Amino acid sequence: MSQLEVKNLTARHGLLTAVRDVSFSLDKGEILAIVGANGAGKSTLLRSIAGGHKSYQGDVVLNGQQLSGLQAYLRVGSGLALVPEGRRLFPQMTILENLLLGAQVGRKGSWSPERIFEIFDNLEKRRHAKAQTLSGGEQQATAIGRALVTNPDVLLLDEVSLGLSPAAVDRVYAIMPELRRNQTSVILVEQDLSRALSVADRVICMLEGQVVLMGKTSDLTRDQIVDAYFGLNGGKLGGRQHV
């Protein structure tokens, strides 16, 4: 049985349908990349799965538990954690305080604030620095750490490399093997196609709120993905490929 199932999810911003009838599943320990141009609906999809954006219709099922209708904090307690675009740290709190806040969820697991400082050793010397004083890379590492200390079954990473230096992005992506070893499943929204494809087991490409391409990374060519990314599939949105 799949760890996470998203079934016919539709989400709106007022009269605009931002996510349209999206369905996919995620196996334990799998890394799924969701790619697409700006405005494709990727971030709205992640927020809808996490409960931060109310879906119009559809279901989200985690480990057999129906999450649809549950508030976001209850979904965190069930094993779903989102690192949102923009990080959304508490700026007047220190790195350690932000991590301790995430740990209050109380789920059992191997992730703790001290382990975050081991994985992101650039945070160790700044553990008592307020979040508002951190660099972009330090903020992103702290945001990922805050999500990890909830000991999630599924980690949602939204625009993980946006605005970061190449060195900071390298540091963030270096944790992917650790997540895979811990059997933590990951949904990764990423603008950097090369980065996404380098770590993902499967890829979904979205265009105008719909899934237009889906498959194993090893079975799809870069040209196929780029064509779907820009809608170069004969002008049709329905050209899905399921692998």
pLDDT value at residue 121: 87
pLDDT value at residue 117: 94
- What are the φ and ψ backbone dihedral angles of 16, each rounded to 5 degrees? -85, 125
What average pLDDT score do residues 210-238 get? Answer: 82
- Measure the CA angle with vertex 243, ends 170 and 48; round to 5°: 60
Greater confidence, 127 or 167? Answer: 127
Is residue 242 very low, low, confident or very high in pLDDT (cuts 50, 70, 90)?
A: very low
* d(C-alpha 54, C-alpha 124), whole Å: 37
Place of tokens 């609906």: 41
Q: Residue 96 is encoded by which pair of tokens?
A: 């350690």
Q: Are 216 and 243 in contact (CB under 8 A)?
A: yes
pTM above 0.85, yes or no: yes
pLDDT exceeding 90 applies to what percent of the chain? 69
* Burial class (CB within 10 angstroms; exposed 0-12, middle 13-18, buried 19+) of 76: buried
pLDDT value at residue 234: 47
Nearest alpha carbon to residue 186 among 176, 174, 195: 176
What average pLDDT score do residues 199-216 get? Answer: 95
Query: Residue 239: pLDDT above 70?
Result: no
Domain regions of the chain by residue span: 4-229
pLDDT value at residue 1: 64
Q: Are 175 and 5 in contact (CB under 8 A)?
A: no
Is residue 19 very low, low, confident or very high in pLDDT (cuts 50, 70, 90)?
A: very high
Query: Per residue in 35-85, pLDDT tens?
Result: 999 899 999 999 999 999 999 999 999 999 999 889 999 999 999 999 988
Tell me which range, 18-27, 156-165, 166-175, is most confidently predicted by mean pLDDT: 18-27
Least confident of 29-33, 84-88, 103-107, 176-180: 84-88
Distance set, CA 26 to CA 3, 154, 184 (Å):
6, 9, 11
Query: Residue 238: pLDDT above 50?
Result: no
* d(C-alpha 231, C-alpha 221), whole Å: 15
pLDDT exceeding 70 applies to what percent of the chain? 95
Which segments within the chain are labelled E, that is strand? 4-13, 16-26, 31-35, 55-62, 65-66, 80-83, 154-158, 185-189, 202-207, 210-216
**166 SS3 class:** helix
Query: Residue 92: pLDDT above 50?
Result: yes
* d(C-alpha 157, C-alpha 147), whole Å: 9
CATH architecture of 4-229: 3-Layer(aba) Sandwich (3.40)
Query: Residue 144: pLDDT above 60?
Result: yes
What average pLDDT score do residues 139-152 get? Answer: 93
pLDDT value at residue 241: 42
Amino acid at the residue 145? G
Nearest alpha carbon to residue 68 among 53, 86, 82, 81: 53
Nearest alpha carbon to residue 33 among 229, 240, 233, 235: 229
What average pLDDT score do residues 196-205 get? Answer: 94
pLDDT value at residue 243: 34
pLDDT value at residue 233: 62
pLDDT value at residue 112: 95
